[in-house]
Structure 1
């Protein structure tokens, strides 16, 4: 029997349809049901799998409900508001639970020892595959894996060494002084005034990064932050929805705007990079900041860890985004908590005045401020900038007594663990900085459950940068002002990339008389 071309095409099409159908069935039904059975056999509990969407709709609904009104009081027990679906799941099923991220179960891991193991085994537990639209908004070190991550991390490490931070202190100081002078003008007539400090701190972090990491001012970098912020606001709702393959190519109004913003951001970053390259060609000495390190590698073609100019732009962009969010949120919650706890505000001010008087702080002196450091650690414990960390299990593996099959996600709520009374004591949800007076290990009874900057090889590369900036800003504020929480303040912690005050942070500033 003669085999015609059309019969071959039909046969191939049938094979393709069957193959695709089987792949889809595995994705939406057989894999989820197999994973669910494996987890339930180990005592894990959660909602039954619901086709394709899993718990996504419930999670979105509970998040919207939680954000519809502020908390009734300024309480640090904000877990039900900031992670409402996770709180609901733990309440119903206990800590040994799982949730459905579409067709993939997210296994709750809340034992500090297991969390440290997961953070340490970076090849076995990798960052989850993200909606491709997020890669337009944020790529670089944060999302890289394997050899490429190792190369970029090795390249960037020198830019964040403590010795380099000493040289960045004048930039930190100039940016903070500018903000404080603005506040001084606002309170000049009456000696006190209500200020929503959140946008000011956001701008401060942007200015610090522009000056210290890229040698530019906020005027130059400000437009980049505006565009990145707009891009993130557009992208977050899409990222939280079920991903439909190829959707990013559909020319919707949002998709087109995200891509348009990306082009504009990269163009502005290239202007800063080209300006620096031209200055070096003209004989200027290369700078020791982040951009200097990146450009040196890019220019040296024999360098073992050289990266492309496009990768330089990506790293600049992610540092603008991550660096600003981490420090501004740390500072805003610090001012809110010190506004409430006047005794700790006074203790911190006394330490600062004893160390520096009204003079500018030096790098060594900043690192000796025990009370200030305890306060910042306690703020990070109660209000960690990232409230959770998720990882994909890349191969079948056992963590403690838990067997995790390849393909599932592990979910680690940093917030929940850092407020766990079984680890931190019955006062775990209270603001008590002196719990850190004898160090981190003593504060956690040897369990080392402080994950505000992550853990292991992928611990936040900018943690020292953020802490130095926060210490300096807090010192300069305490030297000039006392502050109370405004009666108009509405306590509403909400996760918007980082943990932020949803309705701002109005503070009553009072100028100190020296």
Structure 2
């Protein structure tokens, strides 16, 4: 049985302190030789040339250390412990191979099945098959350990000592959202405590009328589309774009007290930014690249400024409403953030805007893509669509579902969990060793990335059985804790784990249950002949070519 330990490890053969020491000694040697050869201060041109040569030499030595010596030392330390994987390739590491494999996988659709791993995570899939569940690869100059062991993954995600953190973000990636998800230590803990009240169960139940209003508005629109169609077969609706609009309206209403129309431009810009950031994430990055005024760099910063300006206006509008007594400060996330800011909290206006950016994007994308994959799966498996519909009709009849029925929707919950298993919204979780750490008997030095491929774990026959690639919601009949075939094994991480588990998971759960129940009450649906099964990742997992379904009213 695998024994897991997560402890600090004191020996770090290439610490920053040691490097600075070597750097300092090198300077002393240079000064010694300057004195030895009698170069006087009065000979300014000679001194200037020498200083430039010294500076250039030190810069070259730093580059050599960062690009070659440090990665090779890290590789040696990891290989000495029996870890297999790819050898270090200076500068770009495995990036080119990763990109080539991703492009090849995305160039053609897959057959209509749920074995999505080879398409959405081809490099990691092949690495694990070739080298095992713990293996080494390279993202640029940074070593990355792929860890596809459920026990180790749980332990890493449960770290409370700050040994393992989120990786330092590519500056381009940071443009998409900062906020809570990128904070660490005490600053993260304070911000989490600050925002938590907005997601308390009773607070979320109070938002149910807004959820229902948004869902009802979208369903009325779909009914008009179906009624206006002359086809007896039903009406084609791309549920991917439609559910993004629905989710955006829910976020705008419940988090910011506005409407989808007010935030529509923000959502559109964030979608554009997601494409730009995804491109940057998979490209070779070197320090200073973001300052080069390329067309795409300029656009990334233009989009960021536009989003911030719009959010600043929404924030200021909310502040004025609160000052005038037209809005309470405890009815939505934005009001809560502003209340805390005005009470002398450490949050600045920029902090408030970053939290808004994060929730606009994460809250919008998560539920929209989750519901999209749910409708696709139920279209592929009409027997489960009918089971879920009969449950909703039996419990709710033709009445709109409310907060009281959510816990009674057992089949709906089973279906939603199975969709998250097969189509996890985030296919990899990323962590980083801030300090040298011992994990499960492996000594990992500081500065190593940890890739936790949740999609591989969710599809693993070791944890889910030989039918792991099949859509079987009955796995979750007794809840998440008893869904795997291994006793006490946690192999289900759709929202992360530990103290940093997604703060909005209950929000997403309520929205998904209500939306799915209302859709099942009003429509039956099947795949359109134009549907192409092609899952891919742009930050979160989504259908590459949309999700056209044929709807009929019930």
TM-score by length of 1: 0.96
- Check if 1:403 corresponds to 2:446: no
Matched length: 508
Q: Distance in 2 between matches of 1:98 and 1:86?
A: 10
Q: CA deviation at 1:309?
A: 1.1
Q: CA deviation at 1:288?
A: 2.0
Which residue in 2 is equivalent to 1:218? 260
Which of 99-108 and 463-472 deviates more?
99-108
Which of 132-141 and 467-476 deviates more?
132-141
Which residue in 2 is equivalent to 1:379? 419
List runs of 5+ in structure 1 lacking aligned partners: none
Which residue in 1 is equivalent to 2:33? none
Q: Distance in 2 between matches of 1:430 and 1:408?
A: 35
Structural mapping, 1:228-239, within 5 Å: 228-239=270-281
- 1:93-130: CA deviation from partner (whole Å, max 9, x where unpaired): 22232111011221111111111111111511111112
- Check if 1:297 corresponds to 2:340: yes
Q: Is the 8 A contact 1:330 1:380 kept in 2?
A: yes
Which residue in 1 is equivalent to 2:210? 171
- Check if 1:442 corresponds to 2:482: yes
Which residue in 2 is equivalent to 1:367? 407
- 1:144-197: CA deviation from partner (whole Å, max 9, x where unpaired): 112221121111111111111112111111111111111111111456211111
Q: Is the 8 A contact 1:224 1:265 kept in 2?
A: yes
Which residue in 2 is equivalent to 1:59? 98
> What secondary structure does 1:510 align onto?
strand
Q: Is the 8 A contact 1:414 1:451 kept in 2?
A: yes
- 1:224-243: CA deviation from partner (whole Å, max 9, x where unpaired): 10111112222221222111
> What secondary structure does 2:392 align onto?
helix
> What secondary structure does 1:141 align onto?
helix
Q: Distance in 2 between matches of 1:118 and 1:501?
A: 30
Q: Distance in 2 between matches of 1:485 and 1:160?
A: 35
- Check if 1:93 corresponds to 2:131: yes
Q: Is the 8 A contact 2:329 2:338 kept in 1?
A: no
* TM-align CA RMSD: 1.5
Aligned counterpart for 1:107 among listed residues 129, 142, 145: 145
Change (3 A) 1:33 1:216: same
Aligned counterpart for 1:269 among listed residues 297, 301, 311: 311
- 1:249-277: CA deviation from partner (whole Å, max 9, x where unpaired): 12111111221222211111111111111
> What secondary structure does 2:172 align onto?
helix
Q: Distance in 2 between matches of 1:425 and 1:169?
A: 37
Aligned counterpart for 2:433 among listed residues 393, 397, 406: 393
Aligned counterpart for 2:235 among listed residues 188, 193, 205: 193
Aligned counterpart for 2:177 among listed residues 138, 141, 146: 138
TM-score by length of 2: 0.89
Aligned counterpart for 1:49 among listed residues 88, 111, 118: 88
Aligned counterpart for 1:76 among listed residues 114, 117, 142: 114
Which residue in 1 is equivalent to 2:68? 29
Q: Is the 8 A contact 1:76 1:429 kept in 2?
A: yes
Change (3 A) 1:7 1:120: farther
Which residue in 2 is equivalent to 1:480? 522
Q: Distance in 2 between matches of 1:279 and 1:418?
A: 46
List runs of 5+ in structure 2 lacking aligned partners: 1-37
Aligned counterpart for 2:356 among listed residues 303, 316, 325: 316
Which residue in 1 is equivalent to 2:505? 463
Q: Distance in 2 between matches of 1:399 and 1:131?
A: 26
Q: Is the 8 A contact 1:300 1:306 kept in 2?
A: no
Q: Distance in 1 between matches of 2:510 and 2:55?
A: 57
The higher radius of gyration belongs to 2
> What secondary structure does 2:524 align onto?
strand
Which residue in 2 is equivalent to 1:117? 155
Q: Is the 8 A contact 2:366 2:425 kept in 1?
A: yes
Q: Distance in 1 between matches of 2:174 and 2:96?
A: 24
Q: CA deviation at 1:11?
A: 4.7
Q: Is the 8 A contact 2:124 2:146 kept in 1?
A: no
Which of 198-207 and 84-93 deviates more?
84-93
Which residue in 1 is equivalent to 2:542? 500
Structural mapping, 1:343-358, within 5 Å: 343-358=383-398
> What secondary structure does 2:92 align onto?
coil
Q: CA deviation at 1:10?
A: 4.4
